[in-house]
Each structure stands twice: as structure tokens, then as C-alpha cells.
Structure 1
């Protein structure tokens, strides 16, 4: 029987087909995203001035871009939505996922319910004053108090519009609220109330954070409110100071030229700039200036403002002045001055980049200067509360 010989063209075609089948390097064909958002009956319902958190399920999202919109307004460009609405109402929100093969989208209803909030501090998460003349009195310390009980005392004081003393550089308080303070574009956001008055400022650095992980505690990234001195070459970032618990029974070293200073070598400190010094004690306050619920030393880190503006106008220690910085600090201008108001849009990350926060849930304030004010004592930020300027 004769063998059948295939035409050459058939052999070539077969070889090409085999090569194509076995050596295909084009990869899988990209498919358009498929979007699913499981929606409760009637839509999502969240109180106004609270975070709306929606996590869609998206298939084929590896190279996709995302967009959340209400009409022509953009709410977000991340896969998960994190947004806060200022006013009540029903909103139709559209989510779109797009790649080179096309797009997938879904519209959902978000119901924002009316809610009445307290315009002030709802909780103090942490509080630690640096040494100062009102430490252990504002709020009052008693034997057995610790970090938790002192924070509770600070919280009670602020809810009662009483004053909290943060002491010298670094002393701080971390505050929370019963709602999110919204960043309304172009508008002032909040006011940290203090006791500043004409020609006497004790500025505090303001840090803000939002509850990104939704657990209700301030363990997310912090952002600094970049006030007028943020880029001043005399401002020290990551300044660190350590204070050492004093021997309250040591022989004092008074200042013979200033009768109001009872001990010039009272509380020793050293910093990370190679400097050392002392917090002085004065005749007006005889209690310990060191927080009695802490150990033998305490260390604080943060932005430090220049103390060069603090001057003795009298030349004899009787009239000191600490003029206010232009904007962006606590206890810097009087509470009724527009310059005391803060914009969330001033917040920057640790690299100095604008944070573009939609709102904040936590505010931290620490004393921003390491300076003496003569008979007025150390420069120490005082806080009496926080006002959300969105609430009328």
C-alpha cells in the first residue's frame, strides 16, 4: 500500500498551528471589573458627621481605578469608601471600577440621619503634663492616681470647662469627640480653647488624626497642624527632652536678684540638642512641679517653637511678654480672636506634605516652647476645651 504524502503547505500550516498553541505569550485576556456592593434594604444608614464605610467586592480589579461620585461631585478614588456627610438627607452614590477592558459600576442609596452632638470634648484618651507650676493641681493628683485616673480627671475638667495645665515643653493631652469634626473647604474647622491674652501666649502644637481603622481609639497616623512657624528655620522638628524627678527635700538655690524664685535648680532636664537646664520653682506654688504618678524620669518628643520672642520688657523681671505667633496653635490668641481658629486643611504628614483630610476624630496638643517667663513661671500651654466650628 502506498504511503500518502501530505502537501508541503499542510505541513507548514500544522507546524504553525502547533507553535501557536504551545508558545502563546500573549497571556490571559483582561476582563472588565465586576462590581458587587451588598446593600441593606432601603440603603446604608449612617448618622451625619459620622464616617460612612463601604467596602465593595470587585472581580478583575488588579489594574483598575476607582471612583465614588454623587452626580458630578467626587467622594473618593479608593476602592473602599470612607466619607463623612455634614448634613442629613438621602444620597445616591455611584461606584465605578475601570480598567483597559471596560468598567463595572453600581449605584447605592446612603441615608444620612440627623443627629445632635455635644460641642466639646467627649473623652480624654491620654494626659501627661511636663513639669510646671500647676502640675498636680490642674487637675489635682492624689496618692494612688495613675495614667488612667489622671486622664479621667482631665476629661471631667474639660467637660466642666475647667482648665488643664500641660506644663513645660512636651506636656500633652489627647482628646476625642462624639462625632467627626469635618473639614469644610475654605472654612475654619475648630478652636482649641486656652487662656491666652494680650502679649501673653503659651502656644501649643496641635496634632490631628482620624479613625481610619474604625476602632474608636487614636492609634492611627497623626498629622501636624502646620502653623505659621512650621517652616521657620528656628523651629525644631523631633525635639526631645527628658525631665528628672527632683529631690523635694534638697537644699534650694534661690535667685538673690528675684525674690519670687525659690529654687533655680529645681527640676533638671536635658535634650537631644546637647543642652541641659532646670525648671525653676517659685514662691507662688509650693507643691511638687513633677507629675507624681510618673517614675524617676519622663521624656517627651515633638515640634519645638523658638523661645526668642519671650522677652523681659522691664529689664528687672517684673514685666515679661510672650507675643502670639501668627496662626495655627493652641493657647496662642484669645479664644474670641479669629486668629485662634484652626483649619484642618493646614494638616501635614510627617514629610510636610498636605494631608487633605476629610475630617478628624482626635486632637492632641502639646506645649510647644521650652521657655521661662520670670515671675509668671515656665511657658506652659493651658487647655479649657475644644469647639467644633461646624456646629452652630
Structure 2
């Protein structure tokens, strides 16, 4: 009985070994067939990598070819020698089949070493002998050709192409004014898996597949674009002529104006019941382009504006949005920035928040939302505490108070029965300094806001490098074209009324 069991066990082992051998043979044959399929489709190699015991080779159509890493990888190194599995053989590839367009002839010599074009490399090919005919014993890359050599001496060669770059050819060459976006979009073939680098006057400035850049000063600049994949690298160079130009150091355009209810709404600027979003935009634009002031009302009220040039992100602070803050009284507005990514001159691109000193505090509420409700009638009490009702997404409700110093309605006349605003809510610093309600103070935040410090105070200046995206991640912007300011507080100071951000202008710190 024990003999039968022993024979039975051996039989099962033999069957399993046979199955493994058959599966292994199928795998190797599949590699051969896949290579032939690549040839039939006239594909070419754009990159390769070693992954989980195999060579993963990416083809020009994006498909991937996997070759088991039981073979050796042979290529020409940067020093011009043949390299085998990362080892420099010391044998020069020049003057042999290393000539352009030819694939090397690779075999295993009688001494067990790799032989390339008849030259013994001195590198052992141990472990490669005894393979069946379908086994790939080497993969080589040289002169734009990737060659797969099989144990029986057969080879399959596939083109391996570096990226090819074609630049646009504008009439009159590449020209742009200083402080305006310059954009170039090269056409790159064989681009699968490629990495890119841009250089201006030999300094690397970007790694995108296109150049989107703003020059700070006039002059002639040398630009180089490099594209590199796993096969090779290509580059193109050109010059850009940057012209000088004089710009206005102020707001030149208002794109949107939408104040929340507040004591200066309908007064700064003046509004009537016949006004519309567009007429109020024009009024806000007129005010801000002529040195006058506008009010954004309560939390969320905002204005969007732009300039006749791009504000360049240089080292240090870049700009200041002017308000009317003074000692112990700030009405801080959050600053959002954007650049004209789509080139249409409109403020419809992604916005980035300037993350000031309060941005990451526990008392700050991200994605805060508040809705104000239009009162059915104006109150008879000039100091009515329950004037304009509001609710928020934190489950709270309250009222904006009326005060006797402002007779007009506080609700924007040209809007419907409700208005809703969203943004980052900052806890106000407001407090009753006198203790009797006669003297209120709202000390400034440390940095990063507008209408927070006096216009001449450096703490009111903004650094574009403080910008973050919607996920709160820091972003590196080359420059900005648009700014949005909105009131960050929902607070009142007794007889002084609500905290309402005001905007009176703008200054680019890069310009005189």
C-alpha cells in the first residue's frame, strides 16, 4: 500500500511539473507572438521600465508589452560603452553596429559571456544557456532600435523613438509685451511617457508640455524646450523679443459686483430699484477706476476686478488692495486671485485663496454659507435690531440690525427675495472696548487680508505665494490677472453697525 501511495505522489508531482512547464512555454510563446503583433501594427517603443520582475515596454499606441526579466537588458550608455544589466562592459559601441539605424548582433559565446557584434564583453551570461528556442535571452536598445534576441538566435527588432518636437512658426518670430502672458504649445510626437523641461537663458523654469510665462522686463530671451522619454531626448531652441510697455497701476476693469446686505449698500455706490447686475457692475467699475470707494456689505459680499497687465509673482510681497482700515478698526476681506489660463480676458478661471494668518485656525469655518432674506417692509424703528434675517449652514439664524445713521434700505435693491454667499468665515476680533457700548474696536488680523491694516502699512500687503487651491494646497503661480475680495466677517459693533469690507483701489508693488 505504501509503495502505491509513493508512486501516486510522484505521479502527481510529475503532472504538476509538466503543467508548469507547459504554462511557462505558453508564456514565452505569447511574448514572441506579442512582438510579432507589434511589428504587424507598425508600432514603436516610447519607454520602458523594470517592474515586478519584468520589463514593461510602452508602445506608441499606449499599449504595454511585458517581457519576463529572465533576460538581460543591453544598451549604449551615456559614455558610449555597452552596458549590460546596469554594468559598464568597458567595450565601446562606436564603430560597430552602433551606427545609426542598425541593431547590434548579440549572442552568448562558448565561454558563457555576452558577445556583441563579435566582441566578447567579458560579462557572463550565466543562467541563459539551456533555454528553449522561445526564450528571450536579451533585450537591447541602441540607435533607435530595441532588439529582442531569442535562445535559438532569432531576433525581432522594433523602432524605439525619442520624442520629436515641432514648434509653431509665427510671422515675425516670437514677440510679446512685458508683463503679458506668453504662450507656446509645441507639437510633440512619440510623446507617450515623455517628460518636459523649459529653459529661459539656461535657467529651468517649467516642466509642462507647453510654456505659459510672463516676462518682467524687455529684452531678447533664449528659450529651449526639451522632451525626453525612455528612449531618448530631443530639444528645440528659439528666441523671444519682449517689448517695453507702460501700464496703469490701478484697477482698470470690474467683472462682478455683488454686495451682501449692509449699512453702506445702495449708497457706495448709489443704487435705485431700476438698477440691474450690469448697471451696478458699471457703477462699481466707475468708482474703482476713479479713486472712489465701494462697500461689500456683510459676510460674503464681493467684487471681482482686473488690470491692464499681469501682476508678476516676484520674491516678497506683490500687491495691496486698498481699503479704509485704521487703528483698532479693521473690516477684513479675504483675497482670492486668479490668472487668465484660457486667455479670454474674463475672470472665469480657477480661483485661489490667499491663506492669511487666520486660515488654519480652529475658529475658521471653511465652506461657510449664509442666506439673507429681503424684509417685507422697512422698519419704523431707525435702530431696529431684527431688520434683515439670515440663516447659515451651521444651523444658526440671526438678524442684521438697522442703524439710524443710514436711512436707505440695507438690502441690495436690484436683487431678489434672497441672496446667498459662500466662502471662508473668520471669527471677528470685535469687542466693546468701553464696556458700555460707546467705544467698539475690531483689531486687525496679523497678515494676509485687505481693509485690515492702513493702506500704507506693510502688513496689509499680499504675497501671491500665500495662495492655496480649493483643497488647501499651496500653489505656485507665475502671476495673476484677476482679484476677488469678499467680506470674511459676520459681526456688528453696536451703534457702528456691521463690519463691512470696503475697497477703494489697488497697487501693484512691482510698478512705480
Q: Give me the TM-score of the superposition, normalised by structure 1.
A: 0.90
Pairing 1:131-280 to 2, within 5 Å after superposition: 131-184=261-314, 186-252=315-381, 262-280=383-401
Q: Secondary structure at the match of 2:284?
A: helix
CA contact (8 A) 2:378 2:409 kept: no
Task: Tell me the CA shift for residue 76 of structure 1.
Answer: 1.3
1:364 paired residue number: 484
* Distance (whole Å) between structure 2 residues aligned to residue 21 and residue 339 of structure 1: 69
Is 2:240 the counterpart of 1:110? yes
Structure 1 residues 29 and 174 mapped into 2: Cα distance closer, same or farther (>3 Å)?
same
Structure 1 residues 264 and 39 mapped into 2: Cα distance closer, same or farther (>3 Å)?
same
Match among 35, 44, 62 for residue 24 of structure 1 = 35
CA contact (8 A) 1:39 1:108 kept: no
Work out which structure has the larger RCO, using CA pairs closer than 8 Å and 6 or more positions apart in sequence: 1
Task: Tell me the CA shift for residue 23 of structure 1.
Answer: 4.9
Pairing 1:34-53 to 2, within 5 Å after superposition: 34-53=164-183
* Distance (whole Å) between structure 1 residues aligned to residue 246 and residue 278 of structure 2: 29
CA contact (8 A) 1:195 1:331 kept: yes
Which of structures 1 and 2 has the bigger CA Rg? Answer: 2
CA contact (8 A) 2:201 2:221 kept: no
* Distance (whole Å) between structure 2 residues aligned to residue 267 and residue 25 of structure 1: 76
CA contact (8 A) 1:243 1:269 kept: yes
Give unmatched runs, 5+ long, in structure 2.
Answer: 1-28, 39-43, 47-160
Structure 1 residues 370 and 162 mapped into 2: Cα distance closer, same or farther (>3 Å)?
same
Structure 1 residues 23 and 163 mapped into 2: Cα distance closer, same or farther (>3 Å)?
closer
Q: Give me the TM-score of the superposition, normalised by structure 2.
A: 0.69
Structure 1 residues 219 and 20 mapped into 2: Cα distance closer, same or farther (>3 Å)?
closer
Q: Secondary structure at the match of 1:153?
A: helix
Q: Secondary structure at the match of 2:402?
A: strand
Pairing 1:66-77 to 2, within 5 Å after superposition: 66-77=196-207
Structure 1 residues 19 and 262 mapped into 2: Cα distance closer, same or farther (>3 Å)?
closer
* Distance (whole Å) between structure 2 residues aligned to residue 329 and residue 63 of structure 1: 42
Give unmatched runs, 5+ long, in structure 1.
Answer: 1-17, 253-260
Structure 1 residues 229 and 75 mapped into 2: Cα distance closer, same or farther (>3 Å)?
same
Is 2:235 the counterpart of 1:101? no
Task: Tell me the CA shift for residue 22 of structure 1.
Answer: 4.4
Task: Tell me the CA shift for residue 102 of structure 1.
Answer: 0.8
Task: Tell me the CA shift for residue 112 of structure 1.
Answer: 0.8
Superposed CA RMSD: 1.6
